Each structure stands twice: as structure tokens, then as C-alpha cells.
């Protein structure tokens, strides 16, 4: 039995072009890797060591 709208039953928020219908957020591992790269770049630009 449907309730008039399939959008509530099976939400599709977007894709990365892979057609899987998954949410637009990247995989957690990829996000953490990118975050680490951004932090490294900022540290390098500020001429800080990892301990600082």
C-alpha cells in the first residue's frame, strides 16, 4: 500500500555521477584524508611543525 508519494519512502539526495542514488556526502575515509591534507597545507603555509 502506497501513501501517495514515493519520495518519502525512498529518498534520493544526489550522486557523484556514479548513478547509485546515494547521498552527496563523500565516504568518511575520503573526507578524513582530505581534511588531513588541508591541515598539512595550512601548517606548511604557516611554517608550523606538527607539534605546534
Question: pTM for this one?
Answer: 0.42
Q: What's the pLDDT score for residue 42?
A: 92
With cell 546515494, the residue in question is 22
Q: What's the pLDDT score for residue 27?
A: 77
Q: What is the Rg, in whole angstroms, of the alpha carbon atoms belonging to the chain?
A: 19
Q: Give the Cα-Cα-Cα angle 37, 38, 44 (nearest 5 degrees).
A: 90
Length of the chain: 52
Task: Check: CB of residue 23 under 8 Å from CB of residue 14.
Answer: yes
Q: What's the pLDDT score for residue 48?
A: 80
pLDDT digits (tens), the chain, 52 positions: 555 555 455 555 544 555 556 667 767 788 899 999 999 999 899 988 766 6
Q: What's the pLDDT score for residue 15?
A: 47
Amino acid at each position: 500500500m502506497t501513501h501517495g508519494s514515493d519520495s518519502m519512502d525512498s529518498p534520493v539526495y544526489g550522486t557523484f555521477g556514479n548513478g547509485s542514488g546515494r547521498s552527496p556526502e563523500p565516504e568518511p575515509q575520503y573526507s578524513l584524508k582530505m581534511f588531513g591534507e588541508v591541515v598539512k597545507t595550512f601548517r606548511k603555509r604557516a611554517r608550523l611543525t606538527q607539534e605546534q
